[in-house]
Amino acid sequence: MQLPNKKGRFGPYGGRYVAETLMPALQELEQVYQSLRRKSNFKKTLREHLHTYVGRPTSLYFAERLSTYLGGPKIYLKREDLCHTGAHKINNTIGQILLTKEMGKKRVIAETGAGQHGVAVATVAARAGLKCEVYMGTEDMARQALNVVRMRMLGAKVTGVDTGSCTLKDAISEALRDWTANVGDTHYILGSVLGPHPYPMMIRDFQSVIGLEARQQILRAEGRLPDLLIACVGGGSNAIGLFYPFLKEDSVRMVGVEAGGLGIDTGKHAARFATGSVGVLQGTMTFLLQDENGQINLTHSVSAGLDYAAVGPEHSYYRDNHRIDYASATDDEALAAFHVLAKTEGIIPALESSHALAHLAKVAPTMSKDQMIILNLSGRGDKDVNQVSTLMGLTGAITGGEV
Amino acid sequence: MGRIEATLKNVLLMREKSLIAYVMAGDPTLAATEEIVLEVDRAGADLIEIGVPFSDPIADGPTIQKAADRALKYNVSLRDILALVANLRKQTKVPLILMSYCNPIFAYGLPEFFKEARRVGVNALIVPDLPPEEAGGFLPLARRELIDMIFLVAPTTPDERLKKILKAGSGFVYYVPLTGVTGSKLSGKAEICERITHLKTHTDRPVVAGFGIASPEDAKDLGQAADGVIVGSALVKIIGTAAENPNYLSDLSAFVASLKGALKPAG
């Protein structure tokens, strides 16, 4: 069975809940994407751009010291942090900018949380010579200031959004409003497997390059498939990108890690599958954090990229049928894992990816030495250095020392 | 033909165009909304649209976003708003239209919502983030409870889609005369009127224009072609002054009267 179906549904999830003004643009996008994706020219161009500009394939790295430190299975890191611009986000933007040109649109807009998607859009827009405007919550602008500067250097206009929680959710709403007003000449490059159809499908497809490569690489290195895949889940694009090419392999278990914030029972988190329920937000039906009246709750995470009230609809589907398990890691657990990776492997991970690492630290010791895990290291932590050092200063919770 | 369509057609028989006034429920308080609706009714609105506040209103501009924030500060819920309608129904016969995003309705429960909406006297429903493609769960319930589902038509809507929208909806056709969110600036009125005239060749139902209509002049100009106009943000702006303006209700009333005046034949 092919998912999503023609109406953009993954079981009951997904769909296209948008204002009428955007419906024709979404239909056009779907049509252009469906026709291009099969064309060998398009596939060849995309492959070339991913190779020569993004730097793919990214390596699948055996993290030997980390494996020893955690005392369990062999741990491989899929190094999306080595992509140009520092995260997996560009796998999607490089595809969508080709569609933008095909549709003849002159301007692109985007939302961004951690700023990684915004930087990835600003980058491909600069390279394509297109105008670019990025919406970003003012709270995220403060905690990811470095990425704001990067986007501006790349020629993008960064517009702060100070409504609601001043984070990713509000940035998406503002981008949707901009798109509604400028749909004639503007393409909206959404950054995760969220929003109305065809975005969740299309972005999954662009991100599947992660899993396709990882699969070949692990077979070459180990001669067999891994036992477990781990990735963090905000909207869930890096996770579905890694998981998708392994879904049919029953022997491969998968865990998506949501942001547990200050702890699930504090209510200050972004773990949709822990306490959420089904609803519609920003164009799609999926699991949301909402109150009993259907108002969207404010979320909390130390990581701007995971700080969002909804999860990609395809994740809701695989959660229901138990193909993918979902867990959460708290701010403190993620910060601890951040330091462990830096000190064992010399890699500073993004705070988003640190949530996946935190879960790894919990499960690896329970597994045997002849097992294998692939963890998606979705981004690098340069952008988080300021925030983490501030947090260290404030709490003193994180100590230096050797591991 | 339901109450909504009949009301619009009766107004046309008087050689006038209809004024549909939009207010946000719970802004500044639910008690105030009750007074506001009755005042707007007295001042000449032919139909009244009651907005259900939502935390993430993607089709709304800053004016209505702020109104929703004001209402949500006191946790105004769809349940409260249906109770408000029940109260209003004891005091006025004016056709009432609820405008709500999907999620508060899903959270309430679709069948329960439609049943209660009918019981309290709601005549129609507008859901700005529900295109006909996604309305499958709504339409049979709306029909059963005799509530009109009103869909939007945008400048970007091609004729093939128009047929689908006209088939799904009832009551009136809601034409959005601009690409943008509520409260945006209107431009190119002559073309808008042409587009409305074109739309009317596809349907016998009244065509009403809404989004961006901010003054009696706008109402008069679009009323040349449309069977009615919806005014929202401009009214919500006046209501937004409630905290510092003790006369906001009479200001609102005078503004509504001037809008309605612009929709009556000259002389």
Q: Is B41 a catalytic residue?
A: no
Q: Is the pLDDT of residue A335 over 90?
A: yes
Q: For B171-197, how does the pLDDT look when each residue is reduced to its tens digit (9 = 90+)? A: 999 999 999 999 999 999 999 999 999
Helix/strand/coil for A379: strand
Chain B residue numbers touching A287 (CB-CB < 8 A): none
Q: Which helix (H) or strand (E) holds B252?
A: helix B248-261
Q: For A1-13, how does the pLDDT look when each residue is reduced to its tens digit (9 = 90+)? A: 689 999 999 999 9
Q: For B242-264, how does the pLDDT look when each residue is reduced to its tens digit (9 = 90+)? A: 999 999 999 999 999 999 999 99
d(CA A194, CA A273): 15
Q: Is B201 part of a structural domain of the chain? A: yes
DSSP bridge pairs for B153: B175
Q: For A306-316, how does the pLDDT look when each residue is reduced to its tens digit (9 = 90+)? A: 999 999 999 99
**Structure letter (DSSP) for residue A247:** T
Q: For A222-272, how does the pLDDT look when each residue is reduced to its tens digit (9 = 90+)? A: 999 999 999 999 999 999 999 999 999 999 999 999 999 999 999 999 999
Query: Could you give the C-alpha distances from B261 to A73, B183, B215, B237, in angstroms and in order?
Result: 78, 21, 11, 20
Q: Is the pLDDT of residue A148 over 70?
A: yes
Contact A293 B77 (CB under 8 A): yes
Q: For A31-85, how does the pLDDT look when each residue is reduced to its tens digit (9 = 90+)? A: 999 999 999 999 999 999 999 999 999 999 999 999 999 999 999 999 999 999 9
Q: Is B266 part of a structural domain of the chain? A: no
Helix/strand/coil for A83: coil
Contact B165 A20 (CB under 8 A): yes
With a threshold of 0.80, does the pTM exceed it? yes
Sign, Cα dihedral of A302, A288, A96, A2 = positive
Catalytic residue among A30, A80, A111, A174: A111
Determine contact, residues B81/B50, Cβ cutoff 8 Å.
yes
d(CA A62, CA A373): 10
**C-alpha angle A388-A391-A394 in degrees, rounded to nearest 5:** 155
Q: Is B267 part of a structural domain of the chain? A: no
> In the β-sheet with A131-137, what is the strand arrangement from edge to edge?
A157-161, A131-137, A107-112, A186-188
Residue B176 in contact with partner chain A when CB distance is under 8 A: yes
Q: Which helix (H) or strand (E) holds A50?
A: none
Query: Could you give the C-alpha distances from B80 to B57, B74, B76, B85, in angstroms and in order?
Result: 19, 11, 6, 9
Query: Could you give the C-alpha distances from B12 to A241, B209, B226, in angstroms and in order?
Result: 57, 15, 11
Q: For residue B234, which of B262, B206, B193 has the smallest C-alpha distance? A: B262
Q: Is B238 part of a structural domain of the chain? A: yes
Q: Is the pLDDT of residue A396 over 60?
A: no
Residue B79 in contact with partner chain A when CB distance is under 8 A: yes
User: What CATH number should be reported for the domain holding residue B82?
Assistant: 3.20.20.70
Q: Is B214 part of a structural domain of the chain? A: yes
Q: What share of chain B is helix, strand, coil (3-state, %, to 5)?
A: 50, 15, 40
Amino acid, single-letter form, for residue A31:
Q
Domains contained in chain B, number:
1
Percent of chain B predicted with pLDDT > 70:
100
Give residue B267's pLDDT band: very low, low, confident or very high (50, 70, 90).
low
**Structure letter (DSSP) for residue B261:** H
Q: What integer pLDDT is reported at residue B1 of this predicted model?
A: 84
Q: Is the pLDDT of residue A399 over 70?
A: no
d(CA A334, CA A354): 5
Q: Is B100 part of a structural domain of the chain? A: yes
Q: Which domain holds residue B19?
A: 3-261
Determine contact, residues A29/A99, Cβ cutoff 8 Å.
yes
Catalytic residue among B60, B148, B218, B221: B60
Q: Is the pLDDT of residue B91 over 90?
A: yes
Give the residue on B whose Cα is nearest the Cα of A19: B129
Residue A25 in contact with partner chain B when CB distance is under 8 A: yes
Which token pair is B77? 């819920």
User: What average pLDDT does the segment A87-114 reach?
Assistant: 97
Q: Is B134 a catalytic residue?
A: no
Residue A26 in contact with partner chain B when CB distance is under 8 A: no
User: What average pLDDT does the segment A100-119 reach?
Assistant: 96
Scan for tokens 């409003």, then name that residue.
A177
Q: What integer pLDDT is reported at residue A394 of this predicted model?
A: 62
Q: Is the pLDDT of residue A395 over 90?
A: no
Q: What integer pLDDT is reported at residue A1 of this predicted model?
A: 65
Q: Is B215 part of a structural domain of the chain? A: yes
Q: What integer pLDDT is reported at residue B34 of this predicted model?
A: 98
Q: Is B159 part of a structural domain of the chain? A: yes
- The whole-angstrom distance between A293's CA and the closest CA on chain B is 6
d(CA B212, CA B189): 11
User: What average pLDDT does the segment A162-191 reach?
Assistant: 94
